Chain A
């Protein structure tokens, strides 16, 4: 009862940001699918090409607006964002795999930014933020276990990530079924590995930031440390890709275990292990958070 009450309050406090994020993810998915549709079934494919005899100035004036863009969405976009090249090459655009291309949105920098922002922000606000703004007393002076409070923070964050993943899924589903012409309409359950990858990465980042927050009095400090760990993870990935002998460094980064497209296409044992590793990072971080939070002093909000 207390758990759900706290979760409801936490979600209520973030409902504005959450609404913007989910709408943003939904909109991004629509844009993504629009690009896919243009790639698979170009809308101008059947239109007559401008007359070769027309002079160049006249042609430019009479071309439809969309003809003036630099080029159609090409396969390089989807390869760049994580679709394996062999899935794209040698296949006619109209036969490219819709599900894989849709799942590649999970590698989009905007999705990454929002996901990491939510993870670090939620974790640093969970305890340190509540101590800092003095609202922890409000809850913990009532008959509420500290473990219940922390579990509510974790559950609320899990719900946030699930909603973000579902917003992308909803964008994909709406696009494939009602809005754009795509090569096939994947069933809803096919998106679960993508959503799972998103949630797992978010919870892993949340998981290693939460222990810092659980023992801290400053939201900014725990947020900055969480961000530093995240950036170090990204830098470690880049470093490991550059130097073969330091390949092991990549294993220290949670991003090494994030493979939404591969998970969606053909999840192997290795890919499930990757997901489990992300879950493990979250679990270890959560256990450490409980140990720290249950033993720590909660000083007054006035300092």
Chain B
């Protein structure tokens, strides 16, 4: 559905994006993670045809994002990271304007979402709206557009907790209706909650793509305190590896079946045990934590 191949964008000598190749599948929620300046917004703007790539290509549904930008934008509804709306118009007038630019198809749904879900008074001038209310208005329009693809750049950044939940619910609904969603954000728990796959970006490079379903299904973390010296090796068939060793305490990663693991644990001198799943933070910290993995391209 969305494909980039060696996508690169330089501003003068500064590389805002370097050789990003990724594929977003139809009907999935694709999370984009990374700190400010990691290239998330540049990637999105290249996809929309608002920026011209220095090299490489981006395409949406087979249409080149730069050369056939109009066709691309027919298929996409975009929520910018920093929502700026003209203040002199009323909420209703703004929705009317945005819908008229797309042929008028989503007006009723946009009004319903804005008034009933977001709780906005559309008779008010936009300049009287708070930052969060403006974000809600833009979100209502984005979710109401009759399009195949939603690109949401930090959609919850200015929202209160209940509105954040509404947005996450709307993203889930969009996916259930077959829409493809690119969800760029900083809040790991939100991305983790909605994304099918997550791409982690760093300094304009795509560092890692993680399938969240695979991750949830197959990865367990075990925090084990042994009586005496912990084992230095593990049976290969258990698919067990040590992530951290701290005296008698080991942090273990387990990707295999649960039965053999439990059998092996029963045979070991275990003093204490905790089993859980890894959250996105650990993965994120591999690239943005205190001791990040080196980028092969940096060498």
Contacts and interface: CB of A to CB of B under 8 A. Distances in A.
B84 A143 contact: no
A300 B80 contact: yes
A5 B100 contact: yes
B101 interface: yes
A13 interface: yes
A263 to B, nearest CB: 37
Nearest to A140: B50
B279 interface: no
A138 B84 contact: yes
A298 interface: yes
Interface string B68-91: 001001101110111011101100
Contact of A13 (B73, B84, B86): B86
Contacts of B88: 12-13
Contacts of B77: 141
Interface stretch (A25-33, A113-121, A129-137): A129-137
Contacts of B80: 134, 137, 141, 300-301
B98 A300 contact: no
A66 interface: no
Contact of B101 (A5, A133, A298): A5
B102 A142 contact: yes
A69 interface: no
B97 A5 contact: yes
Contacts of B98: 138, 142
- Interface size class for chain B? 20 to 34
Interface centre among A142, A298, A299, A302 (most CB of B within 10 A): A142
Contacts of A298: 45, 50-51
Contact of B84 (A2, A12, A135, A297): A135
Contacts of A143: 70, 73-74, 101-102
A138 B100 CA distance: 12
B101 A297 contact: no
A139 B81 contact: no
Contacts of B100: 1-2, 5
A298 B45 CA distance: 8
B109 interface: no
Contacts of A134: 80, 82, 84
Contact of B85 (A5, A6, A135, A302): A135
Nearest to B51: A297
A171 B99 CA distance: 39
A295 interface: yes
Contacts of A5: 97, 100-101
A6 B84 CA distance: 17
Contacts of A137: 50, 78, 80, 84
B57 interface: no
B251 to A, nearest CB: 39
A145 interface: yes
Contacts, number: 75
Interface in B85-115: 85-86, 88-89, 93, 97-98, 100-103
A144 B100 CA distance: 11
A1 B101 CA distance: 8
A221 interface: no
B41 A300 contact: yes
A12 B74 CA distance: 26
B78 A144 contact: no
Interface in B47-72: 48, 50-52, 70
Contact of A141 (B41, B48, B86, B89): B48
A139 to B, nearest CB: 7
Interface in A123-164: 133-135, 137-145
A177 interface: no
A301 B89 CA distance: 20
Interface string A1-26: 11001100100110000000000000
Nearest to B9: A297
A151 to B, nearest CB: 14
Interface string B12-26: 000000000000000
A141 B78 contact: yes
A151 B82 CA distance: 27
A144 B84 contact: no
A143 B101 CA distance: 7
Interface string B228-242: 000000000000000
Contacts of A144: 70, 73, 101
A111 B82 CA distance: 40
Contacts of A6: 101
A5 B3 CA distance: 32
Q: Which of B52, B81, B84, B93 has the most CB of A within 10 A?
A: B84
Interface of A: 1-2, 5-6, 9, 12-13, 133-135, 137-145, 295, 297-302
Query: Ordered nearest first, which 6 A-B pairs have the shortest CB separation?
Result: A134-B84, A142-B101, A141-B78, A143-B74, A298-B50, A5-B100
Given A5-B100, A143-B102, A300-B45, 13 more contacts: A9-B89, A12-B88, A12-B93, A134-B82, A137-B50, A138-B84, A139-B101, A141-B48, A141-B78, A142-B98, A143-B101, A300-B82, A302-B41
18 contacts: A134-B84, A135-B85, A137-B80, A137-B84, A138-B84, A141-B50, A141-B73, A143-B73, A143-B102, A145-B70, A297-B50, A298-B45, A298-B51, A299-B51, A300-B80, A300-B81, A301-B82, A301-B84
Interface of B: 41, 45, 48, 50-52, 70, 73-74, 76-78, 80-82, 84-86, 88-89, 93, 97-98, 100-103
